[in-house]
Amino acid sequence: MLAFLWNLGAFIVALGILITAHEFGHFYVARRCGVRVQRFSIGFGKAIWQRVGKDGTEYVVAMIPLGGYVKMLDERVEEVPPEQLHESFNRKSVWARMAIVAAGPIANFIFAVIALYFMYLIGVPAVKPVIDATRSASPAAVMQLQQPQQIVAVSGQTVRNWEEVNLALVSHIGEQSLSLTLSPVSDISSPDDAGRLNGKTYQLDISHWHFDPDKESPITTLGLEIYRPKVVPVLAEVVSGGAAAQAGLQVGDTLLAVDGNTLPDWQNFVTQIKAAANKTLQLTIRRNGEQLQIPVTPAEHKGANGAIEGYLGVSPVAPKWPDNMQLELQYGPLESVIMAAQKTWQLTAVSVKMLGKLFTGDVSLKSLSGPISIAQGAGNTASFGLVYFLGFLALISVNLGIINLVPLPVLDGGHLMYYVIEAITRRPVSERIQEIGFRFGAALLLVLMSIALFNDFARL
């Protein structure tokens, strides 16, 4: 329940910020173009706060935080007094109307730059994208590694952390090939070194590369084995009431053997526990310098693939990453502007590519996410800290801007499409055609939203 409330709160905050940015774009440009704005509303339905400003605009925060709107004086909607006709939206030039409509999505891109600017100014802790092996019979099998290597570029695009690698890989879904450039970790001392090194480049055949983005990572399905420091088999957590707690295991216990067989690593221990649901195992542990034998019976637990697995309810001490594997993406006031603009462009390019692949069928409709997934993402990133929440806001803001520019009636892009036609033909699109377009657009949007919601519930 607490997690639900946290996700809901983070979702409302995130959506409120993004909607305000979007609607402020429309509002600001409308005022600059001489259009009277009657209402600036964040949310729909009954107002929970409102006031009228000195400019005559009614500012409202409404009860349903799933959108917002800017109501402008318009003869097509209501009768306008003769003395206010010059302030009516429909009386403005087609270029002014285009600017007002486009200002909302543009404001989302500007907001993304601002959010990323503060993210880079504060600094983002990250782990270098280092791999130490590749799997056979995978696209990455062409790379034979003798030592850990850092991915410094994907198809010529510089990458500095796993997030950037993931974004770059996803943008190649449905293509025939991609290239990975690798360099020894020892050659890279700062985040910017990655873009200056001429590492070895490998060409990967991805014509048969397919994966489920809900369950699989593009990194692992490509056949890349991510470098991870060795996990020490010392218990950092024992879940209260779990099988481990009932057996008497305690935080700080060091695991030595299972049924007399020495444990080579933590993953081997996890594998044995998963295979032993409802079976008693004899654990050898060290506690306060004394060696003890403790019988444990892992409980039943449904795994990710639906199979029954053993579950003990313990977690190990978090491994310490080597200093040369860590980095912090932090820049000065001027550099942060440049980095934020570049990152926004990268997010925009990837999002546009993915949208195109959605329509061509290279990306499944199952990848569509709705408000539930967004709420979970908002809650998760907010719990990690401000810098991660800022990055999340930037990503969603970019996607909101792109979606609104899709030439679909009822969206800003649909209005722009009509105005472009008007600018070319020198006469407005007929009300009848616009009405047909709006109905079609609303129906298609409803279908897409229903699919996104269905996907959200399927992921729960």
User: Residues 29-45, buried b or exposed e (16+ Cβ, 10 A)?
Assistant: bbbebebbbebbbbbee
Tally the C-alpha atoms within 13 A of residue 210's C-alpha that lie toward its C-beta.
Answer: 5
Tally the C-alpha atoms within 13 A of residue 131's C-alpha that lie toward its C-beta.
Answer: 22
- DSSP class of 104: H
Which residue out of 23, 87, 164, 309 is catalytically annotated? Answer: 23
Active site residue 23: yes
Dist CA 394 CA 147 (whole Å): 36
For residues 426 and 108, the answer to whether their CB atoms sit within 8 Å is no
Please, is 109 exposed, middle or buried when counting C-beta atoms within 10 Å of its C-beta (0-12, 13-18, 19+)? buried
For residues 370 and 458, the answer to whether their CB atoms sit within 8 Å is no
Closest CA to 22 of 143, 123, 117, 111: 111
Q: In this structure, is the dihedral angle defined by the CA atoms of residues 233, 239, 240 and 242, taken in order, positive or negative?
A: negative
Closest CA to 33 of 7, 60, 1, 70: 70
Q: What angle do CA 61, 65, 69 make, to 5 degrees?
A: 65
* Enzyme catalytic residues: 23
